[in-house]
């Protein structure tokens, strides 16, 4: 049985995932997800899996059961594939397998001159809000631990340079679904307060992005809006204009 995200103790709790997923794979799902695309947006049931060895798998369908079947078929293709990784337009290290279409961070990020002072991307802001994005995805001794930790350190310094002064992350790996971890809660509070008080605008869509990058960018922006609305409601603060424009109601 895989690791089930904590929100499913109450949200979409009737779905029982397949026992075929690895025991160290974290899964989550939803009956109504919104995908924000470059040309159009659409609603769908979805199922997402986060294997312990890295990567991200998402399935979609008319029901959660069908979405999980779609995700598991992708997982099986990934596990059976002799991967050939390519950047496919990604500059942050993300890669797409040219054979099976799987996604993983497999290469070094491409850094541009002056990138330290570039505006924060939607992924960077989401990482600040979630906290876990600043901790290494791999345990000490793993061949990718040192490089991954270096990337996370750069991200922390980028956030601080832009005014979001987050504390040093713990050495432990934090699950991307553990929203109640003390470090995650502290990062979310600092980042939301900064964005609301400074009137920080939402990041713009990446230019000349491919389909997958546009998809993940849309997911990040949706996650940021949801976190900001929740934080405003918890602190009895009126939603800023850039959230109201997205159909949010003022508190």
Report pLDDT for 59: 94
User: Per-residue confidence at 249, pLDDT binned at 50, 70, 90?
Assistant: very low
For the cut 90, the answer to whether the pLDDT of residue 21 exceeds it is: yes
Quote the CA–CA distance of 237 and 212 in Å, as a whole number: 35
Q: What are the beta bridge partners of residue 34?
A: 43
Length, in residues, of the chain:
251
Predicted TM-score of the model (pTM): 0.56
- The least confident of 31-35, 152-156, 160-164, 224-228 is 31-35
Query: Are the C-beta atoms of 183 and 191 separated by less than 8 Å?
Result: no
CA 150 to chain centroid, in Å, comes to 19
Name the most confidently modeled range: 76-80, 110-114, 215-219: 76-80
Quote the CA–CA distance of 251 and 239 in Å, as a whole number: 6
36-91 pLDDT per residue, tens: 666 677 889 999 998 887 788 999 999 999 999 999 999 999 999 999 999 888 87
Quote the CA–CA distance of 152 and 133 in Å, as a whole number: 7
Quote the CA–CA distance of 108 and 19 in Å, as a whole number: 34
191-205 pLDDT per residue, tens: 999 988 877 666 666
Report pLDDT for 247: 42
Report pLDDT for 70: 96
Query: Are the C-beta atoms of 132 and 152 separated by less than 8 Å?
Result: no
Taking residues 228-239, report their average pLDDT.
Answer: 89
Average pLDDT, the chain: 83
**Secondary structure letter of residue 7 according to DSSP:** G
Report pLDDT for 172: 77
Residue holding tokens 């964005």? Answer: 195
Quote the CA–CA distance of 202 and 193 in Å, as a whole number: 14
Query: Are the C-beta atoms of 59 and 69 separated by less than 8 Å?
Result: yes
Report pLDDT for 17: 95
- With helix as H, strand as E and coil as C, how does 196-243 read? HHHCCCCCCCCCCCCHHHHHHHHHHHHHHHHHHHHHHHHCCCCCCHHH
Integer angstrom CA distances of residue 179 from 5, 54, 129? 10, 20, 10
Integer angstrom CA distances of residue 158 from 15, 106, 116, 164? 40, 22, 6, 9
Report pLDDT for 251: 33
Quote the CA–CA distance of 183 and 165 in Å, as a whole number: 13
């Amino acid at each position: 049985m895989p690791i089930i995200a904590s929100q499913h103790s109450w949200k979409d709790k009737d779905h029982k995932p397949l026992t075929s997923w690895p025991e160290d794979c974290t899964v989550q799902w939803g009956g109504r997800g919104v995908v924000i695309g470059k040309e159009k947006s659409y609603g769908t049931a979805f199922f997402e899996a986060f294997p312990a060895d890295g990567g991200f798998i998402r399935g979609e369908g008319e029901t959660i059961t069908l979405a999980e079947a779609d995700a598991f078929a992708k997982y099986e293709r990934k596990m059976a594939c002799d991967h050939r990784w390519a950047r496919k337009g990604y500059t942050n290290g993300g890669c797409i397998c040219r054979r099976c279409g799987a996604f993983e961070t497999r290469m070094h990020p491409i850094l541009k001159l002056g990138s330290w002072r570039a505006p924060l991307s939607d992924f960077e802001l989401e990482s600040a809000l979630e906290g876990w994005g600043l901790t290494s995805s791999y345990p000490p001794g793993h061949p990718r631990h040192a490089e991954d930790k270096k990337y996370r350190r750069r991200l922390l310094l980028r956030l601080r340079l832009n005014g979001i002064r987050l504390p040093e992350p713990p050495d432990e790996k934090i699950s991307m679904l553990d929203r109640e971890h003390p470090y995650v809660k502290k990062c979310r509070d600092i980042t939301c307060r900064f964005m609301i008080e400074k009137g920080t605008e939402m990041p713009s869509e990446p230019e000349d992005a491919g389909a997958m990058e546009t998809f993940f960018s849309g997911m990040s922006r949706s996650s940021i809006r949801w976190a900001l609305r929740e934080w405003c409601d918890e602190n009895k603060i009126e939603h800023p204009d850039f959230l109201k424009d997205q159909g949010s109601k003022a508190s």
